[in-house]
């Protein structure tokens, strides 16, 4: 039951990243968003979520993880209620940012609670397997739930649905989860501020680049400011007696390699969900509910891959699953580059999606275990917060890079399709194009497909880099295998 409560919270937090994607056209109409500003419905959540995860993890270490966990869930519930009641764009964006704050507090403490609730060995391996499956599969479940809620109710329910779930989690937590030991310390306020502001600036710079181009003055200013602030963060952490992110954690090659792998794979999985959602709805013509159902196999295969990895980790160690998982993800994404306007779901989407999902299931459980291996108990919150922050920042940064690739390729394809359209289209359609600037089908499908294929090439490169890091950097020692089997082995120092 403790694992069920913890996993339910993680599922709620993770699926909220994607559940609103299918509802975006309805939100745009209801609250008068422009096409450009609509992207901030997603970005307002991911920016605050990724930016504050480190602070959330450290808060649980100092104040007690169960207490902080419950506060984060309650804040998430309140923000979801306010978002569902929003009457204009500003109210919704404010609520989405507050949701990110609640998620940043709840998510890293949830992961740290697994370390303090379950004994090291097979029991903790299984718990991490469930947590990893939920973290990796939550995006697909969010797309399905979003499709159901939008089609059967309305867009507000993609936010309202969190209220009863969150309240049940809060009510169940005191009964099934014990409070962790509180570790005396002080909040590293300067480190928290510089890490949060620096990551927000970096993510905003990439998002801005995708929308306005790499030569935009505000884009360049954001990158420059991010470099300055994050450099200041490193200097502060090096001098702090109780840093929010103990930099000595990065001295462990396995943990540093794990963060690098997560950064690359998060970019790949965010891109897979984003661009396949566009493809199945705009090119294949799926309804919101059909699009959600199309992603349902992803969750099942991710859960299978996570279960497979957690079962054999004590025998083979995490490295084989980290390498194989990343290679499978790269293979699936490479297969998706072959999609075109004549592709079908069964023939061109389902197969590569399942290959990708199997690899990600293996990866997430292995990465989670490796990130928290040999971490002293007082620092498990910081370690889990860093892993989650890497995932969210990697996803946001990677998606922005992929969107830029998509924009370049689709612009080039538009240069080929527009003359063909003007040559073949009747006068009425040409007049509509001059007025709206939007090409009708099948020309628009050709442009979108060209952009999506280009984005998948870059996503496959991200996954291949992750495999290379796993192969070269990760080292599993006999003592690590002993702990995975439930033996003592050398503990953290």
pLDDT tens-digit readout, 116-160? 677 666 777 777 777 766 766 666 677 777 888 888 888 899 899
pLDDT of residue 136: 62
The fraction of the chain above a pLDDT of 90, given in percent, is 13
Q: Say what the pLDDT of residue 139 is.
A: 67
Encode burial over 113-141: b for 16+ CB neighbours within 10 A, e otherwise.
bbbbbbebbbebbbbbbbbbbbbbbbbbb
Q: What was the pLDDT predicted at 381? A: 61
User: In the prediction, which pLDDT does 57 show?
Assistant: 72
- Does 289 have pLDDT greater than 80? yes
b/e per residue 431-453 (b: at least 16 CB within 10 A):
eebeeeeebeeebbbbbbbbbbb
- The pLDDT score that the predictor gives to residue 333 is 93
What is the pLDDT, as a whole number, of residue 183? Answer: 59
307 C-beta neighbours (distance < 10 Å), count: 18
What is the per-residue pLDDT for 120?
66
Q: Does residue 388 register a pLDDT over 50?
A: yes
At 493, is the pLDDT very low, low, confident or very high (cuts 50, 70, 90)? Answer: very low
> pLDDT higher for 272 or 335?
335
The per-residue pLDDT for 35 is: 47
Give the pLDDT confidence score for residue 453 in this predicted structure.
Answer: 87
- Compute the distance between CA of residue 488 and CA of residue 493 in angstroms, rounded to an integer: 14
- The CA distance from 462 to 261, in Å, is 9
Give the 3-state secondary structure of residue 249: helix
- Report the pLDDT value the prediction gives residue 211, as an integer from 0 to 100: 67
At residue 78, does pLDDT exceed 90? yes
pLDDT at 109: 76
Of 461, 400, 441, 346, give the one whose Cα is nearest residue 204.
400
User: Within a 10 A sphere around the Cβ of 418, how many other Cβ atoms?
Assistant: 14
| pLDDT level of residue 185 (50, 70, 90 thresholds) | low
d(CA 140, CA 156): 19
pLDDT level of residue 407 (50, 70, 90 thresholds): confident
Mean pLDDT of the chain: 79
Cα distance between residue 166 and residue 172, in whole Å:
10
Ranked by mean pLDDT, which of 225-229, 255-259, 377-381, 476-480 comes out on top? 225-229
What's the CA gap between 398 and 309, in Å, rounded? 26
Question: Quick one: pLDDT band at residue 225, thresholds 50, 70, 90?
Answer: very high
**Position 488 pLDDT exceeds 50:** no
pLDDT at 210: 63
Token look-up 């970019």 returns 267
pLDDT > 70? residue 490: no
Q: d(Cα 215, Cα 59) in Å, to the nearest integer?
A: 39
Q: What is the pLDDT of residue 39?
A: 65
pLDDT at residue 38 is higher than 70: no
Gap between the Cα atoms of 148 and 104, Å rounded: 27
Q: Which residue has the higher pLDDT, 453 or 425?
A: 453
pLDDT-based confidence at 489, cuts 50/70/90? very low
Taking residues 461-476, report their average pLDDT. Answer: 88
pLDDT for position 195: 77
pLDDT band at 487 (very low <50, low <70, confident <90, very high): very low
92 vs 425, more confident = 92
Q: Tell me, what DSSP letter sits at residue 346? A: I
Tell me the CB-side half-sphere exposure of residue 32, using CA atoms within 13 A: 5
């Amino acid at each position: 039951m403790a694992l069920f409560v913890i996993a339910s919270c993680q599922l709620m937090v993770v699926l909220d990243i994607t559940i609103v994607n299918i509802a975006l056209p309805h939100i745009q109409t209801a609250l008068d968003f422009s096409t450009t500003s609509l992207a901030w419905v997603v970005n307002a959540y991911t920016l605050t979520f990724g930016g504050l995860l480190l602070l959330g993890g450290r808060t649980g270490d100092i104040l007690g993880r169960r207490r902080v966990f419950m506060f984060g869930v309650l804040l998430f519930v309140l923000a979801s209620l306010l978002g569902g009641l929003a009457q204009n764009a500003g109210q919704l964006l404010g609520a989405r940012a507050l949701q990110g704050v609640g998620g940043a507090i709840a998510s890293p403490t949830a992961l740290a609670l697994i370390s303090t609730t379950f004994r090291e060995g097979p029991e903790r391996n299984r718990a991490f397997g469930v947590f990893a499956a939920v973290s990796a599969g939550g995006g697909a479940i969010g797309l399905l739930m979003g499709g159901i809620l939008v089609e059967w109710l309305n867009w507000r329910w993609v936010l309202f649905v969190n209220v009863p779930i969150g309240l049940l989690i809060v009510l169940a937590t005191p009964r099934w989860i014990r409070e962790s030991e509180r570790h005396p310390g002080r909040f590293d306020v300067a480190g928290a501020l510089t890490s949060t502001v620096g990551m927000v600036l970096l993510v905003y710079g990439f998002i801005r680049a995708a929308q306005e181009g790499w030569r935009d003055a505000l884009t360049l200013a954001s990158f420059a400011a991010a470099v300055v602030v994050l450099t200041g963060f490193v200097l502060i952490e090096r001098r702090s007696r109780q840093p929010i992110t103990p930099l000595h954690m990065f001295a462990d090659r396995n943990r540093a390699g794990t963060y690098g792998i997560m950064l690359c794979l998060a970019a790949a999985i965010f891109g897979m969900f984003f661009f396949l959602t566009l493809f199945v709805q705009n090119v294949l013509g799926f309804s919101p509910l059909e699009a959600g159902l199309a992603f349902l196999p992803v969750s099942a295969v991710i859960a299978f891959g996570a279960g497979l990895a957690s079962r054999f980790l004590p025998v083979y160690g995490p490295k084989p699953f980290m390498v194989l998982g990343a290679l499978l993800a790269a293979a699936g994404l490479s297969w998706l580059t072959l999609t075109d306007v004549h592709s079908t779901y069964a023939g061109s989407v389902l197969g590569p999606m399942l290959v990708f999902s199997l690899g990600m299931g293996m990866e997430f459980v292995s990465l989670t275990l490796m990130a928290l291996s040999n971490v002293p108990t007082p620092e498990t919150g910081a370690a889990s917060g860093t892993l989650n922050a890497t995932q969210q920042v990697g996803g946001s940064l990677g998606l922005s890079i992929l969107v830029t690739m998509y924009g370049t390729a689709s612009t080039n394809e538009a240069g080929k399709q527009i003359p063909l359209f003007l040559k073949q289209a009747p006068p009425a359609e040409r007049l509509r194009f001059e007025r709206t600037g939007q090409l009708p089908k099948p020309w628009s499908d050709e442009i979108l497909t060209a952009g999506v294929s280009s984005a998948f090439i870059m996503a496959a490169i991200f996954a291949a880099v992750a495999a290379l890091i796993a192969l070269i950097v990760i080292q599993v020692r006999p003592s690590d295998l002993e702990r995975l089997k439930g033996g003592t082995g050398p503990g953290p120092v």
